Structure 1
Amino acid sequence: MSGPAVGGPAGDPGPPAGESAPVVVGVGASRGVAVSEVVELIEAALAAAGCADRPVRALATVTAKSSEPGLIGAARRLGVPLRAFPATALAAVRVPDPSAATAAAVGTPSVAEAAALLAAGPGAQLIAGKRKSVPRGGPARATCALAGPAVTDSGALTAGREGAPAGSSPAADIVMTSPTRPAVARIGGRRSSATRRPSAIPPAPRRPSDHPSSPAHRRLRHP
């Protein structure tokens, strides 16, 4: 049975005609994962789920992994933000494939699936469950899962039956993908860190001879 509409009142018509519903990609990673491994995994997951033509809205992960260069680089390459949620928020999301090992490592039994569901908003559904990367010549260092709002036969966006809680999502940090923007911005609160704007360059002090009342200045004006 459908719940309240996602992102708007009941009966939200969803994306404009001709546009596909967006996808949020939850990502987990081991330290040192390569950007190419993350991007190739995401592309493979989208293709396998039949979502290659759907726009990716954001990548999402646990806060402890939000500074991983491979994830930041993947978000930058895809041109989307990387959203980061606290482990406690992810641990509260019901997922089909929880992991005790993941819980011991980062404080939540799910990163990719829970982050995807939480970032996709209240009532989101998994489009594709956790998938591991398949690098050549080494162990898998990345996982991903896909989530989005449930869609009815008429195309309206509705709440799903699993995943993100019905209430509003907790605040998430967004790791900006542009090198010219702040490193981290806070959603639902103050920015946790930001680049400072350069202060205005102070005017050069006047030399004594530059003052209108100085003898040198008078000589220049009246030779």
Structure 2
Amino acid sequence: MIVGVGARAGVAPDEVLGLVRAVLDEAGAGAGDVVALVTVDVKGQEPGIVAAAGALGVPLVTYDAGTLAAVPVPHPSEGARGAVGTPSVAEAAALVGGGELLVPKRISTGAGGGAGRVTCAVARAG
């Protein structure tokens, strides 16, 4: 499984891992099925994402915004485009190598039950 992850700056590793685990569960998969965590290059040093990849024991792979922007996705976001230069991080990152999207973009739950700071999608590697 390829897990695509997007996040706002300063996100806690627990929020990233919590959403990754929930999305993997939704896909009927576990942490042992993950072969890589993938994100946009400008998030490649984000401590929460780096820590999540480390906790899962998988490499963190990054792609530039132009590469991710070229990947067709079901849920593009103008917010993501404005923030990092691509209309999708999580879904495009999961799909950039081909494969089948198993779980489309999900958003973590933030404090007070609102939208959180992490997005995640899962694809079966192509």
TM-score range, shorter chain: over 0.9
- Size of the aligned set, in residue pairs, is 125
TM-score (norm 1): 0.53
> Which of the pair is proportionally richer in strand?
2
CA RMSD after TM alignment: 1.5
Contact 2:108 2:118 in 1 (8 A): yes
- Structure 1 gaps of 5+ residues are 1-22, 150-158, 160-223
Q: 2: distance between equivalents of 1:146 and 1:36?
A: 18
Superposed displacement of residue 139, structure 1: 4.7
Residue segments in structure 2 that go unaligned for 5+ positions in a row: none
Q: What TM-score do you get using the length of structure 2 for normalisation? A: 0.92
Structure with greater helix share of residues: 2
Runs of 4+ aligned residues of structure 1 deviating over 2 Å after TM superposition are 135-139
User: What is residue 56 of structure 1 aligned with on the other side?
Assistant: 34
Q: Would you say 1:71 and 2:71 are equivalent positions?
A: no
Structure showing greater Rg: 1
1:107 to 72, 85, 105: 85
| Greater relative contact order (CA < 8 Å, ≥ 6 in sequence) | 2
Deviations 1:19-73 (A, max 9, x none): xxxx010000001100000001000011122223761001000011111000001
Distance in structure 2 (CA, Å) of the matches to 1:106 and 1:91: 10
CA distance in structure 2 between the partners assigned to 1:105 and 1:40 by the alignment: 23
Q: Deviations over 1:169-195 (max 9, x none)?
A: xxxxxxxxxxxxxxxxxxxxxxxxxxx
Are 2:103 and 1:125 aligned? no
- Asked if the contact 2:91–2:120 (Cα under 8 Å) also holds between the matched residues in 1, the reply is yes
